[in-house]
Amino acid sequence: MEIISKDYKEEYSKFIAEYDRNVASGESIGSVIIRMAQYFAMANMNYATALNAFNRKAAEIEATIDATGKSISSSKAKIYSDATPENATLNYAKTDVENIEQFINATKALQKGILVEYQHSTT
């Protein structure tokens, strides 16, 4: 699984710094949206990979036999599954997908605003 959290956060922070300095244009914002879309695709792949790994681990835990020779309860298996590194990875991957989606939506809204502002300034 590819680590992308740092990359997209740094890129978005650089973009915001440019915007704050009034250096961002509609075109540069479009370029950021495209790059964020690439990160979104990678994050979705990471999420799918993490979900598969977590599901395998959860199934392994669910099949565990306790000291009495019986299968562990579903609620106990869930507690154990939630405490695994696979679940932590899944949560990080899901957070990346959600963060990037929010960055894309915010950037698209900003782009629309700048383009409308540009249209008004040229009429």
> Which of 9-23, 31-45, 109-123 reaches the highest mean pLDDT?
31-45
End-to-end CA distance of the chain: 50
Mean pLDDT, range 101-113, rounded to an integer: 92
* Residue numbers of the domain that contains 112: 50-123
- Is the pLDDT at 101 greater than 90? The verdict is yes
**Domain presence at residue 2:** no
pLDDT at 79: 96
pLDDT at 64: 93
**Domain presence at residue 28:** no
**Domain presence at residue 64:** yes
Give Cα separations from 107 to 18, 25, 92 (angstroms).
13, 12, 22
> Which of 15-19, 73-77, 86-90 reaches the highest mean pLDDT?
86-90
Mean pLDDT, range 30-42, rounded to an integer: 94
- Is the pLDDT at 28 greater than 90? The verdict is no
**Domain presence at residue 60:** yes
Summary mean pLDDT of the chain: 90
**Domain presence at residue 26:** no
SS3 of residue 64 by DSSP:
coil
Count of domains for the chain:
1
pLDDT at 115: 75
49 contacts 1 by C-beta, under 8 angstroms:
yes
pLDDT at 19: 87
**Domain presence at residue 94:** yes
The pTM assigned to this predicted structure is 0.83
**Domain presence at residue 27:** no
